[in-house]
Structure 1
């Protein structure tokens, strides 16, 4: 069995359990936002801190892979904007296509990389997250400001605060500082954070499943097809080509391709709701890209491993 596909099975099984819990009413829909916020704000930063604070960076070469991933997101953003005249969509719908092409579900990819590549994969994805989260957020907010259907336009200070206060970035930065100074490598604090971190990914995956909206798949299917194709087909090719050109090979190349081939994130829906995007199209994109990524992720990584 393809190791990526083998790692995907438990991940998508947990996502399916989240969907079943919401649909069955065992966990009512109104409780899921609080669960998702707990995992995102409270537990995920602890996970990232624990991983980065104890990583052995002296034994790793991560800069080319992180740079390739960062440029990959920029390249996808430029490509989608360049193609705008050819996309039959109004402004709000275009912002949803843009977010679908550039946003990624870092925590799902973190879980997948951890199961498939161990600690090195976990560390590399964590570093890619801290570098690319600001880039992706600035691009998405800019596009929504220009083409979104909303009178609420964020100023530069609001965008900057949104980035610097991001819990995932704070967890990574704090972990980096602890790594440099040798703080919390062991002992009660390290144990508490590690225990909290182990709870993050299961809750995130359950919340992803609970957020799936199959009814949204009927919204503007031709635009949904464009968005999903850009994310699951074009993006991994772009990311892989950039990583290859920077000399990235082996597992690092596969991880960069994984990042490019990631399904969309629910945060895109929140931003579309706030700044006048097409919320229904965004919900459909997150659902469709999550479902189809079970096929495209193993294929993309298999191609990367054959080349690298």
Structure 2
């Protein structure tokens, strides 16, 4: 637990700094969407490319951990859908619960894995991201299409286009191709991409902090509490059990549990806004899970380390 706490402290310190910068207007509120866009479209793909292109996969066994993570998101989606008759909420509010329980902030977990477990942790999270991003997006877009307030019909081509053009997926795929072919291991291109990647995580964490919305915590507190329980308590148990069944042990097991215990992603708010979800409840989900994960993440990983 000491290792994870030591890694979490600087991460949450930078997140807190982002909130302070926005609240004090030292960085104007209008600037944050551009910063978030820069990290998502440019810097984060560069980071993932740099990590994957130089990884030594001969020393890393990732298959079972990646498979367990993918199945974990599917199982969580099924659980939330099964609970729908018991969740007394309108359609848009249910989509917020679903997003809160089934999305994860992969880039925050990438930063945590890098600090706690080094290059191998970075590589494993990067590969989990490229496999699970399509799965999670298909799940949440489908749920928002069915129960969102905008009345749109399912648009399969649009969903697929969003997935295949996702900058994070493209960065991972390009890194994998470069690794396979031995390209850009050294030289100017490698140095430029690595330098861009170094800027990604601090800006991502600052943007997460700037996006915290404490007023949104006044939204439906019962649904907020339910989402927190699903995301921060049930999900790491589900992911851990699946990974254990798949034979995942040691640091890999802890990393899979970290994926399950991740706070919600700020991109959920954007999707709720576009597809008719409950935006205020979604903002509350992201804020609550981000704050509480400071306590639940170390506990979840500590239990995983004891078991594995």
Pair in the same fold by TM > 0.5: yes
Q: Please say if 1:183 is aligned against 2:189.
A: no
CA distance in 2, matches of 1:95, 1:197: 33
Who is 2:243 aligned against? 243
Deviations 1:243-262 (A, max 9, x none): 00000000000000000000
Who is 1:205 aligned against? 205
Who is 1:280 aligned against? 280
| Alpha-carbon distance, 1:58 to partner | 1.1
Who is 1:303 aligned against? 303
CA distance in 1, matches of 2:226, 2:29: 30
Q: Is the 8 A contact 2:146 2:154 kept in 1?
A: no
Deviations 1:129-165 (A, max 9, x none): 0000000000000000111110344511100000000
Who is 2:81 aligned against? 81
CA distance in 1, matches of 2:270, 2:154: 14
| Alpha-carbon distance, 1:28 to partner | 1.1
Q: Is the 8 A contact 2:145 2:151 kept in 1?
A: no
Who is 1:9 aligned against? 9
| Alpha-carbon distance, 1:46 to partner | 0.3
Q: Please say if 1:40 is aligned against 2:33.
A: no
Q: Please say if 1:105 is aligned against 2:122.
A: no
Aligned runs of 1:44-63 on 2, under 5 Å? 44-63=44-63
CA distance in 2, matches of 1:188, 1:122: 22
Who is 1:21 aligned against? 21
CA distance in 2, matches of 1:29, 1:148: 28
Instruction: State the aligned residue count.
Output: 308
Runs of 5+ in structure 2 lacking a partner?
none
Deviations 1:11-31 (A, max 9, x none): 000000000000001111111
CA distance in 1, matches of 2:211, 2:292: 16
Who is 1:155 aligned against? 155
CA distance in 1, matches of 2:91, 2:174: 38
CA distance in 1, matches of 2:249, 2:89: 38
Runs of 5+ in structure 1 lacking a partner?
none
The alignment's C-alpha RMSD in Å is 0.7
Secondary structure of 2:39's counterpart equals helix
Q: Is the 8 A contact 1:44 1:168 kept in 2?
A: yes
Who is 2:166 aligned against? 166
CA distance in 2, matches of 1:197, 1:153: 38
Q: TM-score, normalised by structure 1?
A: 0.99
Deviations 1:32-80 (A, max 9, x none): 0000000110100000000000001111110000000000000000000
Q: Is the 8 A contact 1:232 1:263 kept in 2?
A: yes
Deviations 1:162-201 (A, max 9, x none): 0000000000000000000000011110000000000000
CA distance in 2, matches of 1:283, 1:92: 13
Runs of 4+ in 1 over 6 A off after TM superposition: none
